[in-house]
Structure 1
């Protein structure tokens, strides 16, 4: 039986980001993936400013910036003619909310995963492919997982990062509460096309009754376009998932011919929905990413919220496993992340339904943990930055806590960049430091 400190089930962005965070803290973590390779497809292609800050700390920002690019402006088409521009995102100023990142950065999810995998490997971590989870159980000392092939794994803790249909969540009997955001299904695909400018995100409104919108977005850093095509409720998309079906859809709803689609590299379908796990923890097993919350793709919040889950949990597991903090620190993971995930689910749904814009909230720089039991504000007159807030422009102290002294107080900043304690002198933080493992 293989032994490890943390078993991470799922090698998507959530599991890989968590694996990186643990590896750089010296934690023995094993990432297992049921597929034979990393998942294909552009899928979640937008990285928000807060995620870029996290990626900088994880050591992958340069690779992400080199491989991706900014989002293009939308171009609306009518009857084969360009009818006008459409701005997908509200503009942001440089330095807004204390970040040098001003808007989403496009990076196809398959490339994102490759970059994260390379960083994990660089840090000595590994992924074991072809391991489909069949059983998971726990006792007072740890977790035992069994798979369809390969031997069992014994870990002190386990993290379900295995997506919206999480086998771990189902095995634990944790329910999800949610709703269908839109009954109309979507066909998505990565395609290569000749004769279509890569300057624009091309949007084709519904051509008539019984159709929906179609969009072709040039994927930064590649030769591909991401296709998204909406269909009426009840449409069987299975016959359209092959190359011929994808070409047929594009030819029917745009000025392009089927032969202009030179390659169909990946395709899938889904119905937009929003769902939140009833709890994010069962004993020594945690839920993260899509295993804990499923978003509409509108607004680009799903992948980004998932990476923040990993970033929140990583330092806490590292501190507990390293003997620097009591196990009670892990209780704050669900306390902090579930309310934030619920808020982002609501935002994604509102954007999908046209009730909200892609603006400051989607950039995720303002998310905070003020209500957390881990946040202590002891100043009689708090300033604009309070306990629980993200500390802007933070010069990090490696993977540890950081002391920041400013005109309006002293801040103990957590390894994930949020203020844990705020007061007037560092001496007053002794009790807090002992409780959270900041010595």
Structure 2
């Protein structure tokens, strides 16, 4: 019996497998597809943007340099900039196809931001992400079985059984990371609710007879939207047909040409279509992320329009949040209720992302009301405050979990604190433990921290910028769990450590 069965070997399932493997769990990943390669996962069709929050997750596990290299964007990786250096992002992103001006973004105003090697978003593709995560998972002994289609799931108080044909896979826990049409979600009886689609979207690799008629970039038009990437033959279109065409029949050259002409307002001619697919903006979310010993993450738990790459980034956030909590539960030192905080923290994030997607779709609609809204949005994002607000949403900097503390740093992704000896917080997180940074002059928390040394790494020293804190406790997912003043209270630290990491080793299991 394995500790955890993960269904789905996409980025979310693999990221979760890495976290669980790092925690010392035995993990098997079941994937329906027999092969890893696919034109829909490689660039340009598989091109995605990782938000700063997702890039940070790779950085904290020592995978960022490998990911940057695999993505073919080596020039974006380097040492952390000096404190006080400009931190303006190279790429601002877009809202409903309306591009942000990166020069307007006040990145220094984003909450608790410090210079870091993981400064900004990263252009990558699904193939690169999955390759790096697969290699990391292999280091931890994670087993990936391909060509396995799960057909039944059953559970009791002790474990879960997944059936695939004549084979059965037993585990203490099962996590469905098997995408928007999740089999696990259906078999385990999760309720899936939300809103129906407004458009059918298309992606295609195609040759045009007259490519000069459609210029590269994002184009929001009175009849929809189209995107053309320069030099790759890549096109995406959004046609507001209520989602009627999606998967109803194969998209032919004639149909794709008709849609491109309609949304571009040109008489462009599509010579040849090499490959194409369709999608919609259907926005749905499960009412719960856990039923007994079955959990969901990524698109299995929430689906929406792919605009802005929010699905991939939200899924990676799910995996990072769930991984250490499920790992602690498997290993037997999780405090009561720790696993329940996965849904408590991530369900509201998923709901907010769905609403962000709906707002973009409503703004894109081809009617006079939406076009009036577009004019207002264009004016707002042309301001410093408006551009910064949208960038904050796209980067993930807006995310803060309610951990019951009024301190504005608690519940946020931890800044990349740097010690005077050159050590950075990101360097301290690669082994998957929490981290206690003690900036106090008398190292007063050291004695208390030793009781959790198997789960919390203690690091002391003077910080280049401690943001006014005397100590900071960081969870394995990089979220600040507690912070102390210049003279941190050892008892307050111990309460926070017990809440998130269980009883100290000397006291036995939580």
State the TM bucket, normalised to the shorter chain.
Answer: 0.7 to 0.9
Match of 1:87 in 2: 99
Moved more, 18-27 or 116-125: 116-125
Question: Is residue 430 of structure 1 aligned with residue 494 of structure 2?
Answer: yes
Q: 1:417 to 1:279 in 2, by over 3 A?
A: same
Query: 2:167 & 2:34 partners in 1: Cα distance?
Result: 17
**Cα shift at 1:436:** 2.7
Question: Is residue 125 of structure 1 aligned with residue 142 of structure 2?
Answer: yes
Match of 2:159 in 1: 142
> Higher strand fraction: Structure 1 or Structure 2?
1
1:68-127 residue CA offsets vs partner (Å, 9 max, x unmatched): 5576999xxxxxxxxxx9624665355544154555322233433233223323443232
Q: 1:233 to 1:343 in 2, by over 3 A?
A: closer
Question: Residue 142 of structure 1 contacts residue 156 of structure 1 at CA under 8 Å; is this kept in 2?
Answer: yes
> Higher helix fraction: Structure 1 or Structure 2?
2
Match of 2:202 in 1: 187
Q: 1:187 to 1:243 in 2, by over 3 A?
A: same
Question: Is residue 65 of structure 1 aligned with residue 68 of structure 2?
Answer: yes
Q: 1:192 to 1:15 in 2, by over 3 A?
A: farther
Moved more, 85-94 or 50-59: 85-94
Question: Is residue 366 of structure 1 aligned with residue 366 of structure 2?
Answer: no
Match of 2:369 in 1: none
Of the three residues 424, 436, 443, the one matched with 1:403 is 436
**Cα shift at 1:376:** 5.2
- TM-score, normalised by the number of residues in structure 1: 0.81
How many residue pairs get aligned? The number is: 406
Query: 2:128 & 2:166 partners in 1: Cα distance?
Result: 28
Query: 1:376 & 1:204 partners in 2: Cα distance?
Result: 42
Question: Residue 22 of structure 1 contacts residue 318 of structure 1 at CA under 8 Å; is this kept in 2?
Answer: yes
Question: Residue 224 of structure 2 contacts residue 237 of structure 2 at CA under 8 Å; is this kept in 1?
Answer: no
Query: 2:64 & 2:324 partners in 1: Cα distance?
Result: 19
**Cα shift at 1:326:** 3.5
- TM-score, normalised by the number of residues in structure 2: 0.71
Query: 1:383 & 1:328 partners in 2: Cα distance?
Result: 23
Which segments of 5 or more consecutive residues in structure 1 lack a partner in the other structure?
75-84
Q: 1:433 to 1:169 in 2, by over 3 A?
A: same
Query: 1:142 & 1:432 partners in 2: Cα distance?
Result: 30
Match of 1:331 in 2: 340
1:126-157 residue CA offsets vs partner (Å, 9 max, x unmatched): 3211111111111111111101x351000111
**Cα shift at 1:400:** 0.8
Written as runs of structure 1 = structure 2, the 5 A alignment for 1:165-314 is 165-180=181-196, 182-191=197-206, 200-201=216-217, 203=219, 205=221, 212-218=224-230, 223=232, 225-233=234-242, 236=245, 238=248, 241-242=251-252, 245-246=255-256, 250=260, 253=264, 257-259=269-271, 264-265=274-275, 267-314=276-323
Query: 1:216 & 1:72 partners in 2: Cα distance?
Result: 18
Q: 1:411 to 1:195 in 2, by over 3 A?
A: farther
Which segments of 5 or more consecutive residues in structure 2 lack a partner in the other structure?
74-89, 364-372, 382-389, 418-424, 440-465, 505-510
**Cα shift at 1:420:** 1.4
Match of 1:80 in 2: none
1:149-185 residue CA offsets vs partner (Å, 9 max, x unmatched): 35100011111111122111111221112012x5221
Looking at CA atoms only, which structure, 1 or 2, has the larger radius of gyration?
A: 2
Question: Residue 176 of structure 2 contacts residue 295 of structure 2 at CA under 8 Å; is this kept in 1?
Answer: yes
Query: 1:243 & 1:150 partners in 2: Cα distance?
Result: 41
